[in-house]
Amino acid sequence: MCVWLALLTGLLAVPQLDIAALRDGDILLHTSRGAQAVAVARATASPYTHVGIVDRTGGDVFVIEAVGPTRRTPLADWLARGVGGKATALRHPGLDSAARAAVVAAAAGYLGRPYDLSFTPGDDALYCSELVVLAYAAVDVAVGSWRPLGDLALDDAAVRRLLTRRWRSHPACRGAPSLAACRPALAAVPVLTPASLAADPRLRIVGTSYLPRPP
């Protein structure tokens, strides 16, 4: 709960999200829907459960996102999928226009890649925040922070339900007779969450619609 309060308090001083002001390579976060989103929110104590990269192609605005498969989604559709149509935009202030274009190009290079339900790094599938990290790594910029899965709130009921459904197909659980037996291996898997991107001091919040702005 303290993380949520800190995030929302920080947003009070941030401008309203302005679609026209978004740039290539900006990072967009929102609260997605469904059981997985609930589990991610509970595990990370954050409202942010999905993330993508802004791609301004011609006069249109898209979000490149890892959803299964990785795809380019019109911004209006991406916003509509989030709870309340809200989003927060982050920007790395050290990137010039060429670097931002390179981030977008790197993200587009993953179009068609399947979604990674196991949130495991280094395989042929991607999850949303992993795509962002890989795209920025293409310009030698690190964003977010990797942490062991065991650092998250795995004992939350919604998180346990998700693990119960998926542990058998997780690479770390091959040969394990039960979720309990696999738990130590799962706890060691490094993950990078939307919440870690939102908390990254190297990224600047350039707009949000999570709180009503003053007139």
Whether 214 is in a domain gets the answer no
Count of domains in the chain? 1
215 or 93, which is more confident: 93
* pTM for this model (two decimals): 0.89
- What is the C-alpha separation between 130 and 123, in angstroms, rounded? 11
Whether 215 is in a domain gets the answer no
Q: Tell me, what CATH number does 88's domain have? A: 3.90.1720.10
CB atoms within 10 A of CB 145: 14
* Angle, CA 100 vertex, CA 97 and CA 104 arms, to 5°: 135
Each residue's pLDDT tens digit, 72-123: 999 999 999 999 999 999 999 999 999 999 999 999 999 999 999 999 987 6
pLDDT value of residue 57? 84
Whether 129 is in a domain gets the answer yes
Each residue's pLDDT tens digit, 14-67: 788 999 999 999 999 999 999 999 999 999 999 999 999 999 988 899 999 999
pLDDT band at 7; cut points 50, 70, 90: low
Whether 165 is in a domain gets the answer yes
Whether 51 is in a domain gets the answer yes
Whether 34 is in a domain gets the answer yes
- What is the C-alpha separation between 18 and 144, in angstroms, rounded? 23
CA of 62: how far to CAs of 44, 73, 180, in Å? 27, 5, 42
Whether 213 is in a domain gets the answer no
Write out the residue range of the structural domain in which residue 57 sits: 2-208
